[in-house]
Structure 1
Amino acid sequence: MRAPNGLRFDANLKWLFTEVPFEERFDAAAAAGFTGVEYADPYPYPAARLRGRLTDAGLHQVLINTPVGEPGSPRRAGSACLPGDAVRFRADLERGLDHAVELGSDFLHVVGGVRPPDVSHDLAFATLVGNLAWAVERARGTGVCLVVEAQNSRDVPGFLLDTQARAAAVVDALGGDGIGLLLDIYHVQVQEGDLVPTLREQRSRVRHIQIADPPDRTEPGSGEISWPRVFGTLLDASYPGWIGCEYRPAHGTVEGLSWLTELTAVADTAGEESR
């Protein structure tokens, strides 16, 4: 979906259109005007079946996540940073990459993982970088770009990549070829704040953006963020990518989409004024 100012938004089908079963959300997103979708967990469904839903609805797959373990398990946020778990990591990466290729997904989010209490940060970080170095080579030539994301420690206690600087350090350690940042504005605001300087600092590394408004992770305009300033900053930076709507609608998905016109129209003006 193109906003009035040209920014491009996709629907996260884990969070939006939950009024209908998952497989019906593709048509619901298309009917609402979206042309791209993302979701974390395609794995309960055969990839070919989801590909058919995308085709039938005229949608593009933007992003999926790598598989993660059961809630409460050490792998609940993935195995990428877990020492001694390389076999599982590679199997999960292969599965994720197979789905991403079949779906025509632009991005595969390699979930960084929760650091076990008995593992040092340095060891967990080195494990993550080593696993991702293999993953980048494995994904080369597939057309799928890998991304990593920082997640706030309130929602995901113990997540290894808990700041943008730590996530950026992973990208820099791997040279930024075939891998980049998934910058989630909700996580940035909850963990660190300082949104506009962070967007400017990380712009060269960012491949995908996700949005929600704290404190309740609802749609833009329902919380504490100045979205015209955020969107204006992205316009100033000539951000060309997708922006994933990964929020919990406060009062229904379609009813809450008015922000797409209201806030992005204002953002266009804000962007012009700041130039």
Structure 2
Amino acid sequence: MPRFAANLSMMYTEVDFLDRFAAASADGFEGVEYLFPYAHEPAELRSRLDDHGLRQVLFNAPPGAWESGERGIAALPGREAELRSGIERALEYAAALGCGQVHVMAGLLPPDATTAERAAHRATYLTNLAWAAEQAAATEVDLLIEPINGRDMPGYFLHRQAEAHAIVQEVGAPNLKVQLDLYHCQIVEGDLTTTLRRDLPTGRVGHLQIAGVPDRHEPDQGELDVRHLFDVVDDLGFDGWIGCEYNPRAGTSEGLGWLKNYRGERA
């Protein structure tokens, strides 16, 4: 059966961040993910994980000036030194937290970017990812890249699954993989069952995420048949995690009926 991780940046916001580990554990989660760990010392986070029997599944490398609207820097020419420093910091946290995956965000392109400018961004992205993957390999960490829909994040460099897989193949590092968020994928291109059956067997997908479409609430709210999708993932033998990256409609725990029902059906 698929393994589910609570996204503590979006779930359990009823309590302070450090208290969300206990809340997730109490609801039966065994793994957690979140956007960024850097506001807290690694030892503090590790203590929360250990105290509640949780695994750190994923977090993001530093994304640039997030509060000012930046969404990653890996594809931004001229930011290479900052990218390298951020990767080094992320890998320090990954080692301390026992986390085997780090998402590296690409960044935003200007809406009027020319073909030549887009090519320059892509070249920068490939170079940065190759360097970062080499550093991460030394610590047995996988780096992930994620296509993100342009409605939620206008201008993001990477939108489609095929683009992400092409980049992974071009870089050629075995520890560079795709983060397949079924919410983003449904909005951009749909055809999720075919996408899963096509891409999971390649071994290039390191992590899955889920949310309801179109409102990003519980995954059983909206147009996705999540029971079917979970069964497809299970049938394909995917041994990674599914991150629950959604905004609960009301209380987080109160909205977990979809997960309890699925687990009960598969028990």
**C-alpha distance in 1, partners of 2:212/2:173?**
29
Counterpart of 1:219 in structure 2 is 218
**C-alpha distance in 2, partners of 1:71/1:174?**
26
Correspondence 1:100 to 2:94: yes
Q: Which of 34, 51, 54 matches 2:46?
A: 51
> Percent of aligned pairs with the same residue?
46
> 1:147, CA displacement in angstroms?
0.7
Counterpart of 2:159 in structure 1 is 162
Q: Residue 257 of structure 1 aligns to which amino acid in structure 2? A: L
Q: Is the 8 A contact 2:61 2:105 kept in 1?
A: yes
* Over 6 Å off, 4+ runs: none
> 1:71, CA displacement in angstroms?
4.4
> 1:176, CA displacement in angstroms?
4.5
> 1:70, CA displacement in angstroms?
2.8
Counterpart of 1:230 in structure 2 is 229
> Gapped runs of 5+ residues in structure 1?
1-5, 269-275
Change in CA separation of 1:51 and 1:140 when aligned onto 2, cut-off 3 Å: same
> 1:83, CA displacement in angstroms?
0.9
> Gapped runs of 5+ residues in structure 2?
none
| TM-score (norm: length of structure 2) | 0.93
List aligned pairs for 1:164-183, cutoff 5 A. Answer: 164-183=161-180
Q: Is the 8 A contact 2:107 2:157 kept in 1?
A: yes
Aligned length: 262
Counterpart of 1:249 in structure 2 is 248
* Structure 1 counterpart SS, 2:256: helix
Q: Residue 255 of structure 1 aligns to which amino acid in structure 2? A: E
List aligned pairs for 1:1-80, cutoff 5 A. Answer: 6-71=1-66, 73=68, 76-80=70-74
Q: Residue 3 of structure 2 aligns to which amino acid in structure 1? A: R
Q: Deviation per CA, 1:75-127: give whole Å up to 9, x if none.
A: x1111000121111111111111111111112000111112344622211111
Structure 1, 251-260 or 64-73: larger mean CA deviation:
64-73
Counterpart of 1:3 in structure 2 is none
Change in CA separation of 1:33 and 1:183 when aligned onto 2, cut-off 3 Å: same
Change in CA separation of 1:51 and 1:72 when aligned onto 2, cut-off 3 Å: closer
> 1:206, CA displacement in angstroms?
0.7
